[in-house]
Amino acid sequence: MKIKWFLMSALCLFQFTANAQKLPDKQEKYEFLHWYLTRKGLKQLSDTTVPFSIGSLKMKEIDRILAKKLTQAELRYLHRQIISTKIPNALDTMVFKRYDLITIPDAKAFRSYISMPIFSKDRKMALIAYGIYCGITCGEESIDVYIKTQKGSWKESHLFAFPVVMF
């Protein structure tokens, strides 16, 4: 009887842990992207997402910035999301039809691009890389960080100081 109870307890704990570690699904990401794109007002958005990074800023440097406020377990969770994202990942043009999506960008044309968002385990923090390209020597890239309020809405956070890379 004790063994059966122990096994049931272990199974429940395993299920709880597995659910807590579950990565965000497409719907969660797209809900955030809708909010983000409406707020940000990016014009001529590429329909293909980019890797989560900022130009020459390597993941090691991004980790160094994040490690000031996050645990190693939280960093690993963010990494799992970055690694699991298929790059390039085309946005569903039917879902995002109200936005000015560019399906085949002209190399010389102005355009904006984003990464897929990544979330903290508790889904109370979201990070997204974005960039604006306006010519061979014109543009900027950065990572935006948002925190979910108690009312469930997102607000920009200055918890992390990511540089804005201009070129």
| Cβ burial 140-149 (10 Å sphere, 16+ → b, else e) | ebbbbbbebe
User: Which of the pair, 110 or 73, is modelled with greater confidence?
Assistant: 73
Does 127 have pLDDT greater than 70? Answer: yes
Count of structural domains within the chain: 1
3 found inside a domain = no
20 — pLDDT class (breaks 50, 70, 90): low
Cis-peptide, bond into residue 117, ω within 30° of zero = no
What is the residue whose two structure tokens read 């994040």? 66
104 — pLDDT class (breaks 50, 70, 90): low
CB count in 10 Å sphere of residue 40:
15
What is the residue whose two structure tokens read 């990070």? 127
Q: What is the pLDDT of residues 56-87, one digit of tens each?
A: 667 788 888 999 999 999 999 999 998 876 55
152 found inside a domain = yes
Estimate to the nearest angstrom the gap between the alpha carbon of 89 and the chain centroid. 13
For position 74, what pLDDT does the model report?
94
Q: Which domain holds residue 150?
A: 23-166
> Which tokens sit at 123?
């889904």
Q: By mean pLDDT, which of 13-27, 136-150, 153-167 is the weakest?
A: 13-27
Taking the model in full, what pTM does it have? 0.78
4 found inside a domain = no
9 found inside a domain = no
